[in-house]
Amino acid sequence: QQQVKQSPQSLIVQKGGISIINCAYENTAFDYFPWYQQFPGKGPALLIAIRPDVSEKKEGRFTISFNKSAKQFSLHIMDSQPGDSATYFCAARSRSKIIFGKGTRLHILP
Amino acid sequence: EAQVTQNPRYLITVTGKKLTVTCSQNMNHEYMSWYRQDPGLGLRQIYYSMNVEVTDKGDVPEGYKVSRKEKRNFPLILESPSPNQTSLYFCASSPRTDPGELFFGEGSRLTVL
């Protein structure tokens, strides 16, 4: 119930393409869904986040799509760039705990 | 500069030798937390604290202790480290007790032989 399932584990996308990472959850008490980006040797940093009363949120090239009935949410990176190569984590919050997915290693080919 | 500082960044130790990883934040945040990151397992929460003297277990607390005697500091203590605690550890903080954005340190890579 506390899990957040993330897929795929790794992803290779051509420069300029769309990167899509998917997450699913079971716990309906989750009330906040952030995505974090992590570069090698660094700690994760918040990229974008959404609340369950919103179906989509866009910030620049990054968009979260949220499907409350299906308990799924996804990150779309438009016009993917080599600088987007990183590990991405979806997460969900329940009260004082933030639960992370297992991560997706994204590689953008130049 | 607003930051979360962890020390040491790298440590190799032996089984059973007590060690402490320190974490300090200069943002006056209420909430602090420790995570461990392992390949294929993502980030798993060890302990968290919503305020001074208030700590609670995360998903993988076994073998770890924490304390929150001051708002800015949240040390992680391994009383008797074992090889399965070899991992990359991250400390994080948030201004809210129902944490929104987490601010992470740069990580501490621990190897237990």
Which A positions 68-107 lie with beta carbon below 8 A of chain B?
A: 89, 93, 95-103
Rounded mean pLDDT of A96-103? 93
Does the structure show a pLDDT above 60 at A101?
yes
Contact check, Cβ <8 Å, A93/B98: yes
Residue A80: strand, helix, or coil = coil
Contact check, Cβ <8 Å, A98/B90: no
Residue A24 and residue A46: Cα distance in Å, rounded? 19
pLDDT 10s digits, B34-78: 999 999 999 999 999 999 999 999 999 999 999 999 999 999 999
Contact check, Cβ <8 Å, B48/A2: no
Q: What is the DSSP string of B6-37?
A: EE-SEEEE-TT--EEEEEEESS--SEEEEEEE
Residue-level pLDDT at A1: 56
User: When comparing pLDDT for A77 and A2, which is higher?
Assistant: A77
Put simply, whether B100 touches A (Cβ < 8 Å) is yes
Put simply, whether A13 touches B (Cβ < 8 Å) is no
Residue A32 DSSP class: B
pLDDT 10s digits, A50-97: 999 999 999 999 999 999 999 999 999 999 999 999 999 999 998 888
Q: What is the DSSP string of B50-82?
A: EETTEEEE-S--TT-EE--SSTTB--EEESS--
Residue-level pLDDT at A2: 66
Which A positions 15-44 lie with beta carbon below 8 A of chain B?
A: 32, 34, 36, 41-44
Put simply, whether B61 touches A (Cβ < 8 Å) is no
Residue-level pLDDT at A71: 96
Q: pLDDT averaged over chain B?
A: 95
Residue B23 and residue B29: Cα distance in Å, rounded? 13
Rounded mean pLDDT of A32-40? 96
**Of B35, B42, B99, which is closest to A96 when you measure between CB atoms?**
B99
Rounded mean pLDDT of B86-113? 94
